[in-house]
Amino acid sequence: MEVHEETGGSRDGGRMPDEKGDPDESGMTTAELLGNAALGIAALVAIWALLQALGVNVVSWIEGQLGI
């Protein structure tokens, strides 16, 4: 097994160390998780609003077809 001094050895997968010299940045930070959650909620709200608007149009079209 070949060890590379500039990357901190072979056990880190050959990744370059960060500013602190720590090559292990596994996991997500709280800010990343909260950002992803906010984007997910925004997407759900947009989808809900679209489906609600389409539902009104579909009901109006059915009423028009039935002559109600």
Average model confidence (pLDDT) across the chain: 79
The pTM for the full model equals 0.48
Count of domains forming the chain = 1
pLDDT tens for residues 44-59?
Answer: 999 999 989 888 888 8
Residue 25's CB: how many other CB atoms inside 10 A?
11
Segments forming the whole domain that contains residue 26: 5-66
pLDDT of residue 65: 94
The CA distance from 33 to 40, in Å, is 11
The 3-state secondary structure of the chain reads: CCCCHHHCCCCCCCCCCCCCCCCCCCCCCHHHHHHHHHHHHHHHHHHHHHHHHHHHHHHHHHHHHHCC
More confident residue, 22 or 38: 38
